[in-house]
Structure 1
Amino acid sequence: MFSDIFKQLIQNKGVTVYQISKDTGISESLMSHWKSGRQLPKYDSLNILADYFNVSGDFLLGRTNEISNLVEKKETQEEKEPTKSRIIPLYMTGASAGTGNWLSDDVPVEWMTIPKTAITEQADYMLKVRGDSMQPKFFDNDVLLIKKSPSILEGEIGIFILNGDSYVKQMGRGELISLNPAYTPIKLTNYDDIRCSGKVIGTVDFE
């Protein structure tokens, strides 16, 4: 479990909770809850810990028992730098249509470990494309990287909640646009309840 892994990492690194708090900005009281098993860290804290201890997200989540050689007490210059990764939530509701509340705490998420890149570092969450309305750019079951934003610019692609349904569309002038010409644009009116939940910044492949 996470509490055991966390305590082992602290011991291996030879640091105190106080020192970790100073280095990372995470409060000592929060880490005390982690050590006791009373609470689990959120994904942003997991990413901070993965960087701090030089381990993978999978190791922190207990998915592998292979600890990076960089957490040994004695490190050498010749040791190979491990591949950097981060942990990010994948929402289980698709991006073409839904109830409109899929970003709430009630919607199931799967915590995924993905490579850390300049693009993935900007992403706040992921979700899958449902349908073919955004072809040829995005296909059914593609996993989108989303950066939270209350608005996007015209011509950009984002996640929108329109009258309770969720869509991945290109922002047009007074309309939401599908890239597939088989779909007509969704015209927006003054009576529509619409909000932007984020900007699509890319995709990630788990294969």
Structure 2
Amino acid sequence: MTFGEKLKAARIESGLKQSELAKKLNTTGNTISNWENNVSKPDLDTLSYICGILHVTASYFLQATIPEDEVSISELKLVKKYRYITEHSPSGAKTINAVLENEYAIAEQLEKQKDRIEELETSQAAVIDIQPHLEDSTRLIEYHHSASAGTGVFILGSEGVEQLPIPNTPENRKVDYAIKVSGNSMEPDYSDGDIVLVSQKVDLNHGDVGIFIVNNDAYIKEYGETELISWNPDADNIIISEYDNIVCMGKVVGKY
């Protein structure tokens, strides 16, 4: 990208018009237009002001490509939001960390699967060897202890995670992890001790059963419009307020 293209991209990412950037730099919109069209370039002092206004480093403009360890504009925005949440809502930061850990583990597993597929595709002998066993093959998924059908179970990080083998069927390929039910609020369909299979690849609609983290506790509940619903008539629903931190960790798609 040229200097002008980088400047335009950073300005748009920051939500500024040419005229607004010009006002902050005490210059004209025509000058900004000339810079973005590579007709001219700002001096180094002005460039330092631009970096401060658009929240980018000088290397963003001066290097031909952005190094892998250089933070992009959109990433900087995420960092600012995360710092704000950490300062004002520590429980929210814990929830974000939990989601990141889970998604990172999923990404790692997908990358390993991709590498294995590429390895098999380049090895005819390996492909021939595994074909007779496809019907009996299994895959490993993460197994967590546990989701509450009652008062809530703490579920953050990777503590207590095991590997669980499931048949490698087309239906099970959408399953991302398994989790054990604790409590009886979702009876008769989901009882204490049941292991449910959860997918993060399918949409969760109102009326579906999912795994939810509410203020750092995990629950298996039906997704309602204003509350998380228990199926056992003797159990209470979870009313969601604007002050609660809630994250959906996937849709329940079956039992183990």
TM category (shorter chain) comes to 0.5 to 0.7
1:93 to 143, 146, 149: 146
Give the distance between the partners of 1:178 and 1:163, measured in 2 at CA. 18
Corresponding position of 2:236: 184
Q: Secondary structure at the match of 2:143?
A: strand
Offset at residue 50 of structure 1 (A): 8.7
The runs of 5 or more residues in structure 1 that have no matched partner are 1-41, 54-70
The answer (yes or no) to whether the contact 1:149–1:197 under 8 Å persists in 2 is no
Give the distance between the partners of 1:151 and 1:72, measured in 2 at CA. 36
Residue type at the aligned position of 2:194? D
Q: Secondary structure at the match of 1:121?
A: helix
Offset at residue 184 of structure 1 (A): 2.2
Corresponding position of 1:108: 160
Higher relative CO (CA 8 A, sep ≥ 6), structure 1 or 2?
Answer: 1
Residue correspondence of structure 1 range 100-139 to structure 2 within 5 A: 100-101=155-156, 104-105=157-158, 107-139=159-191
Give the distance between the partners of 1:197 and 1:163, measured in 2 at CA. 13
The runs of 5 or more residues in structure 2 that have no matched partner are 1-107
Residue type at the aligned position of 1:90? Y
Offset at residue 185 of structure 1 (A): 1.6
Structure showing greater radius of gyration is 2
The answer (yes or no) to whether the contact 2:147–2:220 under 8 Å persists in 1 is no
Residue type at the aligned position of 1:99? F
Give the distance between the partners of 2:252 and 2:189, measured in 1 at CA. 12
Residue type at the aligned position of 1:94? A
Give the distance between the partners of 2:110 and 2:189, measured in 1 at CA. 29
1:153 to 205, 210, 224: 205
Identity %: 31
Corresponding position of 1:63: none
| Residues 56-105 of structure 1, C-alpha deviations (whole Å, 9 max, x = no match) | xxxxxxxxxxxxxxx78986x9x67551211111113334422241xx23
Q: Secondary structure at the match of 2:142?
A: strand
Offset at residue 197 of structure 1 (A): 1.0
Alignment RMSD, CA only?
3.3
Q: Secondary structure at the match of 2:147?
A: coil
The answer (yes or no) to whether the contact 1:46–1:87 under 8 Å persists in 2 is no
Residue correspondence of structure 1 range 5-154 to structure 2 within 5 A: 43-44=109-110, 49=116, 82-96=135-149, 97-101=152-156, 104-105=157-158, 107-148=159-200, 152-154=204-206
Residue type at the aligned position of 1:185? N
Q: Is it true that 1:195 corresponds to 2:247 in the alignment? A: yes
Give the distance between the partners of 1:87 and 1:193, measured in 2 at CA. 30
Corresponding position of 1:163: 215
Assess, with a 3 A threshold, how the Cα gap between structure 1 residues 111 and 73 changes in structure 2: closer, same or farther: closer
* Higher helix proportion (structure 1 or 2): 2
The answer (yes or no) to whether the contact 1:47–1:87 under 8 Å persists in 2 is no
